[in-house]
Amino acid sequence: MTTIEGGETDANPAVRRTDDWDAGRLHELAAEHDTPLYVQDLDRVRENCDRLLAAFPDADVRYAVKAHTGRATLEAVREAGLDAECASAGEVDRALAAGFDGGRLHYTAVNPPARDLDYVVDVAEREPDLTITAGAVDTLDRLAERGYDGRLCLRVNPGVGAGHHEKVRTGAAPKFGVPYDRAARVAREAAGRFDLVGIHAHAGSGIDPDQLDSHRELVSRMGELARELTDPGAPTDAPLDLEYVDVGGGFGVPYREDAEPLDLPAVAEATRDAVGDLRGLALAIEPGRYVVADAGVLLTRVNTVKPTPGETVVGVDAGMTDLLRPAMYDAYHPIRNLGGADGEPTPADREETPVTVAGPICETGDTFCTNRAITRPARGDLLAVGIAGAYGYEMANQYNSRPRPAEVALADGEATVVRRRERLADLTRVERESAEVDR
């Protein structure tokens, strides 16, 4: 086996490309379960968890649940040894159902609704080791009003953001965290009302190698703040007894075929260097996308091929309701033509040709790519949309009254349906149940 960047071998590369999936197996799954269909490889999820734990052996590694909340995935992450970072009450509920106990749960909401706070505070009464992260003084007051005085982490806005799109760069956005210049004062005040155990910041989502300087700057600022808060030699303020500094996640994966993967061991070393001496505090990270992105693929069937004067439009049965990222973020996902419905390989005489792959939604933005060269599609071909395991199914919706797709999980060679395909009756179920309650 050859060695590649970061000391990986080709048997377990730092990123799983779309061409690495077994085309025959994907054809079998599509034939058995229909399309659109998400396929999530739990073995790959575990490999990615192991890679993170090896790169950050002394850190608390917490999976950002919002990347993929399926129970099978959460159970695989838990078994691999990662904690769960939850952005909503629903994610806390899912993590509990997947077997996480309070000591491995971190609730990190932004502007949490009242019902979410009510639920999580109630959970904390049963699971006192659960940690709640707050990013506003108002949120601290709301927690105190509910009688909460347990484990608290303060989210800080370090003024440094990074990420694959402006909509996911959180580190400098006013929405997220207490401003850095006020953080020390707010932390000391919070320590008088709660069991303050940590400070937290997050640069953004999908940080690529070109943005690591911003990530390092965020980490450096958080290290400085931690030392200020815990300094026993401070002239006026007593040192706080913190447990950890959480510098977030956002580690990117290469969606484009020619993009290099993150050198994770180098990122880990740079993170440790940037945070500096934490004087016994633990370092915590919150990867989400890195854990699950390349473990998932979306299968979709070609139903229409329409040549036009400007371009050839290839219509498929998946759309922005199944995978929203291209429409929302102009995100790139690799697309591989796996050939016809009979499972035979794509004929060799079909050359690559530029096409626009479009879904069935009544929106111009419902496209997966525009004028991209792929092996010339024909009606009935199966396309694999790659690197779809993160924020794919999570952002699926019922716009245009389209049922959400099914999801199959692969583990040890076996395939299991972990989310059944919604039926048309599911679209009106809540309305029908409401009507029955009103009678």
- Active site (catalytic) residues: 362
The alpha carbon dihedral of 202, 207, 211, 213 has a sign of positive
* Cβ pair 348, 337 in contact under 8 A: no
User: Residue type at 13?
Assistant: P
CA proximity to 335, closest of 18, 37, 14, 29 = 18
Please, which contacts does 184-190 make with residues 24 or more away whose CB atoms are closer than 8 Å? 184/225, 184/228, 184/229, 186/137, 186/140, 186/154, 187/154, 187/229, 187/240, 188/229, 188/237, 188/240, 190/134, 190/140, 190/152, 190/154
Distance CA 103, CA 95 (A): 12
Count CB neighbours of 303 within 10 A.
14
Beta-bridge partner residues of 268: none
- Length of the chain in terms of residues written: 439
Distance CA 33, CA 15 (A): 27
Q: Distance of alpha carbon 59 from its chain centroid, rounded? A: 19
Alpha carbon of 346 to those of 24, 316, 373, 374: distances in Å? 12, 17, 15, 11
Q: Which residues contact 348 (CB under 8 A, 6 or more apart)?
A: none
User: Residue type at 54?
Assistant: A
* Cβ pair 325, 391 in contact under 8 A: yes
